[in-house]
């Protein structure tokens, strides 16, 4: 009797696990970044529906805005040591949907399907929608709808890795 109960319990527990269950925020990759949102190009972050990408490489930040303009900032020694950019960098912005408090959200710039630091998502604005796409796996995500995949067809894509943000006295902090 006990053996049957044990076998039944194991079967029920194993069937309860699903690949499609995700938490809101990711802890898979370490992140720490902050910026002052009153200074360009970070002032774009407070406008609903606007997103920028931020990457760190060789002591510099490379920021790409919604129009594709690229801005490079040299990091201080302290920033270069302390800024940790997740898998591949960050996508920062204020979604137009599912965002009642108009907070700034942070997603990883790396593709969650490929899970490779070299696979960088490409940002594009299509009308009112801001999307991120992967040229390798052909994934497509809408940044205005919580980073959920908008691919059609049979394949299920993971949502983008999302990181917690806080905003205090004009300073945005992304940290997990």
Q: What is the pLDDT of residue 38?
A: 93
Contact of 123 with 94, CB cutoff 8 Å: no
Domains and CATH numbers, the chain: 29-175 (2.102.10.10)
Q: What is the pLDDT of residue 126?
A: 77
* Burial zone of 14 (CB within 10 Å; 0-12 exposed, 13-18 middle, 19+ buried): exposed
What is residue 36's three-state secondary structure?
strand
Q: What is the pLDDT of residue 8?
A: 47
Q: What is the pLDDT of residue 1?
A: 57
110-134, pLDDT tens digit by residue?
A: 999 999 999 999 999 877 788 999 9
Q: What is the pLDDT of residue 17?
A: 47
Residue 4 vs residues 7, 12, 13, 16, 61: alpha-carbon distances, Å: 5, 12, 14, 18, 59
Non-local (6+) Cβ contacts of 167 within 8 A are: 37, 103, 104, 173
Non-local (6+) Cβ contacts of 88 within 8 A are: 55, 108, 109, 110, 111, 117, 118, 119, 120, 121
**Tokens read off for 59:** 């002591």
Among residues 21, 103, 91, the alpha carbon closest in space to that of 55 is found at 91
User: pTM higher than 0.85 for the full model?
Assistant: no
Q: What is the largest CA-CA distance in the chain?
A: 69
Query: Would you call the peptide bond into 41 cis, given omega within 30 degrees of 0 as the criterion?
Result: yes
- Low-confidence residues of the chain: pLDDT under 70: 1-23, 98-102
Q: What is the pLDDT of residue 13?
A: 47
């Amino acid at each position: 009797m006990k053996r049957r109960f044990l076998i039944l319990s194991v079967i029920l527990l194993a069937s309860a696990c699903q690949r499609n269950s995700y938490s809101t925020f990711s802890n898979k990759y370490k992140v720490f970044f902050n910026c002052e949102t009153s200074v360009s190009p970070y002032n774009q972050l407070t406008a609903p529906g606007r997103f920028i990408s931020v990457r760190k490489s060789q002591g510099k930040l490379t920021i790409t805005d919604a129009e594709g303009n690229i801005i490079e900032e040299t990091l201080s020694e302290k920033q270069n040591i302390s800024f940790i950019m997740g898998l591949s960098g960050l996508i920062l912005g204020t979604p137009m949907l599912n965002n009642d408090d108009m907070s700034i959200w942070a997603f990883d710039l790396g593709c969650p399907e490929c899970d490779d630091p070299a696979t960088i998502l490409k940002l594009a604005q299509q009308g009112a929608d801001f999307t991120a796409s992967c040229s390798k796996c052909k994934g497509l995500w809408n940044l205005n709808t919580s980073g959920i995949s908008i691919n059609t067809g049979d394949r299920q894509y993971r949502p983008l890795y999302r990181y917690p943000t806080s905003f205090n006295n004009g300073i945005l902090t992304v940290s997990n």
